[in-house]
Structure 1
């Protein structure tokens, strides 16, 4: 039982008090108000399971007992992770007196970022609710646009509402569901419930539920998402119907839509005997469960599972490659070879891993193992299947490195064709029983096999014959190639000659290849433009319920080169600080690149303070600076070949919803072998103001050109202005010139952006980062740090070089401002004259 006075006991005590402090125990607060997560919060309760709540707002049940909703700080045992949440609390009066069951959380603001002691929740007119951690870093905020907040209220149904001076709602928690719905709450068309990663890790996991025009669809998030369950009468209709609503009430899930007949609603799922249902939750294991409180026993009870009750029917029950049989997990049979092992012998439900990792550099040694008597996915997704014959299905998987397994289902064993489903990520299989509808299905898993050893005897003659034949074939191919090349050159001006696709889809590990019509449909015929540049235009789109950004390149020779470089450079690498290239299209003269969507746009929009964006605080700026450094470090030191970006600037740094920095636009990049320290190039790449001086001095470059550009970007972030700003007075137009002057006169503090906030609190840290930027800006490239050294400085395991030169600008070229524009004096630059594409 509780280790201190229970929550509602305190409330009941103070409800009869006339002390001013009783005002804290209300369901409403007026802006501005601030709360600090500390034991000093009066309405605090510890529970028998080790969890704890510190309620800030509480809507008491009108009866005085029964379900009540509160909003405040919640933590579960051992209370190292704290969340700003909405939770249901109960007070029970019986022969035992007044007692208190464990609260149930139905919404959380900061699932991915737990907060600590002394975190602060603020309610202001301009920003609504903002949550800062104990170190001052911004964790979460409400998006209220330009509206003004008057106050906050929690309703008797558990909806947290920000309202304006006219008492009209501006923001509501019900419109931003996490993993639960309460009685009366609706899930709108296209919205999701996303399960937690585990029972104790509330970070968003891989499983989600979404409401589409055809009903409820539950997916495991992969590329593409894999359907594992649905409640629908029309599984093929997966368009977003924004007029649709899924509502929980009276033990049932109801779906309404403007597409239905007047006053019509469809009962998708219901439970007989439901009495007092409080909420449903999409659990970490993929089950959609209904919970109620039994006042006779004082316990939360499970009324039922709205999905199937067979545990083996869930994609993550046995982890990757696991096979589920009556709730028990094993790896694919070892009779086919020693290809799989348990991740943890004591916890088989964690799944299996391949003994020999599959590599795209050795596709000739890929094989498909037959897995007998299993079904996958457990809820067969007919829409995701292609209708081809089984041999072609298996062949396509072997030729596509991203394919990790294939499932084939016959319509009729006597008919050759069926449905083929290729998996880019393999989750759990299920052993089917004789009465299973999946007895006509086959499953094959790709494995890496050891190469066959060469013959040691009697093979010399065969080798000579083979070698001679190969040489003849090679000469013939070269002759054919030269003839074809001449014909291509003669018809280069014809559009019919533009249908080359560079054989990109034959390269191992490449992202998904889309058809032009698929991307036309995904972007609604290229109508939502996000940005435009010299080599193309970027459009917003949606594919498999995910927002994407599609860059459509212009039909120019340089654009075609950029396309090939970008796909080859980043198509096979993945890092949290690199924008993910998810697909591409080559269709005659059309070339398109598909990226993950970045909702906060590019860094250049955030560097300078403006009237529609709040300035970034210091912790966010430091997070961005660190993210860029880690991305560059990965490109330079962790890839098989070093990748030189050549165009690091704020326009090419994109920000996701959590302000994680991601490097984009690799069209100008160059791959060099790791043993090469420098390369000579006559083609200058990059943008004026960010180009390293060795371009102009020797033409011999290394990865240190990106280090120099990084130093410029860091200075822009610290100073809150662009490197070349023609709106400034003439003596202040060039940031690096100012940096030289201030460094030599020991006045660097004058350069710090005054919009950072409490600069005094971070002055030492900011000055250290400025010293790091100056280290990166050394004119002599050999004196600049490596990006791994930069990361170590940011992680405080290494100090900045102290012997620095304070000369950062080469004598040439000169960059002048005229009529508010930059004079682009370098005609050879590939990207100087264009507006950089924005890929949110």
Structure 2
């Protein structure tokens, strides 16, 4: 009886410890299956296996949320192979897992050490009698996530560098190639790394926010901190609204993301991410280039500078940047300054900072006395501007922002360039006066000319009218490339250079004199839709910039010839790989995931983050192009439509697109919305997973329509039978099932049942997000669809 009582007491103690306590005491072990839970039950610490991995790790996760979201991993590089792991706290204050020390531990012995999990997610080692000082804390060794109260940056006294490093995969929390860290040099800033390459930067702290994140000042419920002194340089945030649950992280593709927990949806919402656009990249326009979010082309040279390679610049390749027209003259002190307003500041790692300078005038004078100074700006924009940043190198990453954001930036120019700019301004005023007088003198003549043009327009056919409109460069907003240049690049459009031929004409491979490879789409003269599609694509593509959209470099109009010039995509279109039995073997599981996620981000940009809300209307495998690294880029915007911010759906009399990818409400009734693109994306996902062409399926028992087949397999619990056998065995069953689920959610029959692309991106990037069960897909089989007389074979643009 006594023995039984002792056993019962032992079980109760273990149960109490595993479910309620937040503290680990010396020589007490936390075994696999037990957890520490913080006092308010906000966070839990224990052993876990990520994704479908069988390895065991010690981590910290949100305890009350429906999703199992891990925010810290202790032994990310040293997993356990079995479930017999234990974590112990030794008498000297050292934590071990299976007797092995896994992180730097306190170098001083503690009298009475305890390890405690706090309600902010920090796991600390401290003296039992002094809870305010920590000998060690997990916040000093973050993994991929920054929680409120965590510091991201340097402890200069100890040399500790707190940075974020992405998981290698959803099943492997070991350090991947992507990271975010504080660059302490010059004027400190956050840098996102892809291996050893800088991919994004926050810009320096201006007293209110980071220069390249102007939206920070609009965040409600947040308190941001930036500390830069002799002991520490770090960024940190806290929440003034305790009901907000948020986390900042770097994901497995290198994106910096902030998530907010939405209780009503029981899921994470992607609140902010970077980089978002071309101007968010580390050096979007090369040295001394200016990236303008509101302009086109996005890149231009700072006034007083000229492209280093004019030919590359004409094709929107700004990587070489710009050089000065006139060298500075420090000896005679004749240089002046050009003011650029509403800017994000350029790269500051080599800049000089003096916080003791109290005004812009003093900062200007300091720059003029330094012969190496190329530009200056206020270090702190509060109270009219204090402190001084001086650049002594080329200006990298300078960007003009939206009105009411950014700050004034002052670029040093030679007197001759400043005088030339002033002269141009005066000439413009004179031209205006002359124009006004000319208008008054020629008024009657213009009335006659206008009347004649109206008559000619009425007599002209629609094709001539379109050509007249398309010849206006101010509307197209793209560089017009000379006919002779394209003739030389394509060897007079020889047949050997044809990459493929689509509905609007052949596509040629070309090489410019400087070695740049291009793809030239030459519109067919016999195409009834060519002019409209040409105009639509040029105007839309001129306003869109994203890593997952193919880049339109320019256009050419020569008589009846109309051509579009694109960046060359060496791997060609996705359908060339996906529906070819030999090529499909090159698409392993990771590449297919990369393609799916890239297409999703490109669509999200079109639907939500671009200057205009765009519906593509012809998303299909042949319109997905692949670069050398098999990154996808959405192409062919001839059928795309701009959608109003307040519009939910619209209707067209003319249904265009490709059957098999069309949403049923669009194919049958001409009704389209962003959910039409979501349907097409879902078809693409299922094609990529299966290697089967939906638009080429037949409605028969031996050749079922792909969506019908997927739906049948899903309901029979045989979804894995859909998977392309050429993928091999290097995939995760749970991940395959999840992606099929997402594909089916996107192709549901009713538009209101389909998720938005923002929800799809969250589903794809977070394997812990629960997915609803899909409803039946919308079936639009080929045999029941009315033929489109204008439909031609898909473009094979590479």
Please, what TM-score do these two structures have when normalized by structure 1? 0.46
Task: Say which structure is richer in helix.
Answer: 2
- The TM-score, its normalising length taken from structure 2, stands at 0.48
Structure number with greater CO (CA < 8 Å, separation at least 6) is 2
